[in-house]
Amino acid sequence: MTGVRLEVALALVQAARAEAPVPMAIAVVDTGGALVAFAQADGTPFARPSAEVAAVFDGRVQFTTSISVATGGRVMLGRGGLPIVEDGVVTGGIGASGGTGEQDLAVVEAAVAEVLGHPAVRSPA
């Protein structure tokens, strides 16, 4: 398996939308970071300043810069994203935004469990 299949990506987005307690944007990407499926609910807030995200990593400038450089700017550190693991292989990632970090994470965990039939893997081996 080389990447998350479209039908799996669409099912994950739909399952996440059904779990969302507030309007959210949900994205599924392949292992290269290319968008496979996306949905944004009407009223999804994007008014959170990036300074709030930066505050989480305050004092870790080298760490956050190295992550950004290593991924060509494709990775933003924050909660609400998980790898998609199928048959022990990472095939992509899913992320949600619009709620609190805890809400975002709960939504993607629930979607992965429903669609893939196993708990979300937070740190694939």
Percent of the chain at pLDDT exceeding 90: 43
Burial category of 117 from C-beta neighbours within 10 Å (exposed 0-12, middle 13-18, buried 19 and up) = exposed
Q: What are the CA-CA distances from residue 17 to residues 47, 53, 76, 89, 97 (Å)?
A: 20, 23, 22, 25, 11
Rounded to a whole number of angstroms, the CA Rg of the chain reads 14
The label of the residue with tokens 């994470």 reads 105
pLDDT in tens, 69-124: 676 665 656 678 889 999 989 999 998 988 888 888 899 999 999 999 998 877 65
Q: How far apart are the first and last CA of the chain?
A: 17
Specify the pLDDT at position 22: 93
Specify the pLDDT at position 32: 85
Mean pLDDT of 14-29: 94
Q: How confident is the model at residue 38 (pLDDT cuts 50, 70, 90)?
A: very high
Specify the pLDDT at position 84: 93
Mean pLDDT of 16-38: 92
**Amino acid at the residue 38:** F
Mean pLDDT of 41-57: 68
Specify the pLDDT at position 78: 63
Question: What is 45-114 written as a DSSP string?
Answer: -----HHHHHHHTTT-HHHHHHHHHHTTT-----SSEEEEEETTEEEEEEEEESS-HHHHHHHHHHHHHH
